[in-house]
Structure 1
């Protein structure tokens, strides 16, 4: 399949109604975007729609990890862990700017749930399942002295020692965006802010033939004809399917079950390591993860049965994580006033009755609801690529199409530098320093934009003031706001400050910061002064992220 290497990220609703597609995908999170890229690269005519922004649901509310899932070994999910560890290596090879090594410390306390020898056995198995050539080193035992030297903020009382092991970090929203770019390059039509309203059916036979969709910007509707439809809408899939049933009948048993996971954004603890810890209240695993100069604390795993549009971080979520975190901090425990931001997401899992949320398998399955209509359930961010390939296989087989094998395991990400990442990264550091940027900003630009970072450099060369940090505590420069608004299918200010550049969850934004972001976006998108004020108001009244005083 020929890959169109220079196709831009442009939004065109009209393209959806111009022809019949082999596959229409509803939902632009990590699964929908990977399926679109895989199917298009195998020669299928693909349309991908998302009712909001790309990755605006759970796919931008993860723990920002590319990992095997060490804790799943406790549930004997060896196949899942083996699969995700294989993907961890592959993704680091295909996109070293998008998946980077991250050391984890796993402290052991006297009387705690984690014991040295069971942990040693689990980490040995983790390394064994990973195999050779991984982007991170094998685990090692560290003494109490060494752990406290590296992480002096940890509680020293009853600390016995611990382990260091490796996984990888990422920016989940930008990861998804780059897969969208890859799908478009492969020939897919991808349009954000388009909602699937209902299925189209053939007259007489009732066979699924597409979907009626609506542009959320203009209100325009269109019939999108497609031979197969895939619902990668996560928590919204059940409601969509119910709307298609005669008379609104309710299925006898729900196919899916939801659990809520929340993260708090806290001040930096110092150091570059993440930490795997267990909550004293219930023994559940949670993390300290360094991310863009802050510390992510999470996640929770609680049952959820409400409206996904009303998902919020609740007071009890905050209290649970603060109490868990403070049980491991030596001095100056965190309080509510220290919470800088937060975010919540819903996991869509198989409906395994009688199990607690943390006991439900994260394994993935694909259901054919009826001929031409498919629903994936479960899965993990890290394993989405390989499972997307299996979905394309199943859909093509149902169509009787010979499309060959998936090639995404061989295809570098569209923004991956061609001539070796490390020498290229060193060259970008030199260019960035020449523009007066600090090393942290340069490193983050390299990771966030890959080979497209030259677009940031050119803006700063033309207008040096754009090289200033947007917020003094965060590693983003003003040029990024202008660049992303122009080049990355940004529709509104929330797209820009939540997912392209996640300042809205990393720091409380005063009006002056919102105004500057709106001005930079407005310059790129042609917003007049009234539109900029309107976008600021929308950003202020958008989804509620719990923070102190909110």
Structure 2
């Protein structure tokens, strides 16, 4: 079969037919669970973790890699959503602020405070049009920019939601002179600048993996929490008689496909949870539960290697309203700058990619607030796009579509005489910031279906490598010093702590368990670390390492030499022969080119 893309359309490759994956073996060995979660984005994985912690027999399948769709294409923000206030979504904002504060405590290895500045060009603009936007969720005529009065009102209300368990300082207003003293490259025409704090998640893919592994660990003793990527739903097969997977229950059987080998197999569950995001309706169609819930919008971003823009931001996110009324952002991520995002109705028949028009839009918005800074296309090191899992919105403009979520319940009657109806719970909507609360809500609905009670709250439960993470910079340096060795300097140890949080201790034990060496193509990976990933992190393709297990692609650090070296190292634990390595390198090139506008010339023939 020919190679396709990595967004749910992976094809069989020689690279993955030599051995059965442990994750798939676990599903096939016991092809039954009380609950089957379909979809491995952050909301599906969060639900898997929550259910596993309640002692529920739960399985999860994802047709691509974990955090590959919308969850991996976010603006990397953990935020309360100040702009949702004008939509009247006060419940969502309150929940989002509360969850932002919680994530700062339970996932401190990945979620960090983010100082945010809003440049303001007027005092009272938008006061008359704002109530109309609030009531109609539409922009009438030419957008009226939000002036200082409206922004001050919104930030004051926003601060009020943080009174209980607040984790960040309250907002501040600056006049033009002081604002330009702090951020001298800002547009000289500003009148004010408002500064407040939200949070960012610099490694959303790895946070998703941590949540997943928490769930797997919770059910490790009796094999009641199993998950596999690269497994797609093919169809609903109806009711399964007692004796299939479980001697005492009937269930509802679906046909699954291993996307790495092409093998088909059946799996039975009592409750099916559909968390496939923008693809919820397509998944329901395959289950025989046709729906029309979704109306996702596409959001794109670019990543720039631009020292001047990085310096101009001065460590802050610049969050503002562009001339078309769209709220956009510019903010530093390490030594790169992230710029986003667009919000246009998505065509689900087309790949979600960043277009030339969107890039021109991003360059324009940079010039809107930093008129003295020029950006060239050569400074783009990475682009990414995703489809937000928003509800169907008819005439409502994309920017005003609710970011809240709801859960839809379906029942499907099985074909066998006396068979119980299949219960399908579909998640419509949802955002990164609220994934823990959403998972708790969805899990409670599942527990009610099963007649079970909640045993554990996740509200204060540390996630993965966030457990015992150092509280400040001094603690971080102390941790690094304590875990250095003769062969591992401070920089390498810092990379491991950043990538894994305190779970880096497990990785370090593996690294120290035998001879190791750094790769020639990057000092951010070693041979034994790649072997650790292959054994513990469900690597399906070479691209998984570059895009989701590390930030190498995001930062524009992938080279032909790196492709070849990583493929060579992975070939041993993953059983890739020469043809398989070549196929994986070419697939990685294709994915980086088609979806991220990154052209890599490899060394393969």
Pick the aligned partner of 1:13 from 14, 21, 24: 24
Query: What is the CA-CA distance between 1:132 and the residue it aligns to?
Result: 4.2
Equivalence for 2:550? 501
Q: How many residues align?
A: 527
State the SS of the aligned residue for 1:223. Answer: strand
Query: What is the CA-CA distance between 1:377 and the residue it aligns to?
Result: 0.3
Does the CA-based 8 Å contact 1:429-1:439 persist in structure 2?
yes
What's the RMSD between the two structures over aligned residues?
A: 2.9
- Aligned equivalents of 2:240 and 2:577: distance in 1? 47
- Aligned equivalents of 1:500 and 1:305: distance in 2? 29
- Aligned equivalents of 2:488 and 2:173: distance in 1? 38
Pick the aligned partner of 1:164 from 184, 190, 195: 195
Give me the TM-score of the superposition, normalised by structure 1.
0.88
Does the CA-based 8 Å contact 2:352-2:595 persist in structure 1?
no
Task: State the Cα deviation string for residues 263-293 of structure 1 (Å, max 9, x = none).
Answer: 111124123211102212x121111122242
Larger Rg: 2
State the SS of the aligned residue for 1:521. Answer: helix
Q: Identify which range, 354-363 or 433-442, moves more after superposition.
A: 433-442
Equivalence for 1:121? 153
Does the CA-based 8 Å contact 2:521-2:562 persist in structure 1?
no
- Aligned equivalents of 2:492 and 2:157: distance in 1? 37
- Aligned equivalents of 1:74 and 1:229: distance in 2? 35
Pick the aligned partner of 1:190 from 227, 232, 238: 227
Equivalence for 2:294? 256
Structure 1 position 109 matched with structure 2 position 109: no
- Aligned equivalents of 1:537 and 1:382: distance in 2? 35
- Aligned equivalents of 1:549 and 1:95: distance in 2? 34
Does the CA-based 8 Å contact 1:435-1:460 persist in structure 2?
no
State the SS of the aligned residue for 1:404. Answer: coil
Equivalence for 2:95? 83
- Aligned equivalents of 2:445 and 2:466: distance in 1? 29
- Aligned equivalents of 1:468 and 1:272: distance in 2? 32
- Aligned equivalents of 1:159 and 1:442: distance in 2? 43
Write the mapping of 1:258-273 to structure 2, written as runs, cut at 5 A: 258-268=296-306, 269-270=310-311, 271-273=314-316
Equivalence for 1:3? none
Does the CA-based 8 Å contact 2:106-2:467 persist in structure 1?
no
Structure 2: gaps spanning 5 or more residues: 1-20, 126-143, 220-224, 242-249, 412-421, 601-605
Task: State the Cα deviation string for residues 241-280 of structure 1 (Å, max 9, x = none).
Answer: 224449xxx76xx211110000111124123211102212
Pick the aligned partner of 1:418 from 435, 444, 468: 468
Sort the Cα spacing of 1:15 and 1:464 in 2 relative to 1 into closer, same or farther, 3 A: closer
Query: What is the CA-CA distance between 1:486 and the residue it aligns to?
Result: 4.0
- Aligned equivalents of 1:103 and 1:469: distance in 2? 34
Task: State the Cα deviation string for residues 474-531 of structure 1 (Å, max 9, x = none).
Answer: xx44465454344322121111001111322321633122223323433554544443
Does the CA-based 8 Å contact 2:236-2:286 persist in structure 1?
no
Query: What is the CA-CA distance between 1:236 and the residue it aligns to?
Result: 1.9
Q: Identify which range, 142-151 or 285-294, moves more after superposition.
A: 142-151
Equivalence for 1:466? 518
Pick the aligned partner of 1:276 from 319, 324, 331: 319
- Aligned equivalents of 1:318 and 1:438: distance in 2? 39
State the SS of the aligned residue for 1:201. Answer: strand
- Aligned equivalents of 1:65 and 1:528: distance in 2? 40
Query: What is the CA-CA distance between 1:16 and the residue it aligns to?
Result: 1.6
Query: What is the CA-CA distance between 1:456 and the residue it aligns to?
Result: 5.1
State the SS of the aligned residue for 1:54. Answer: coil
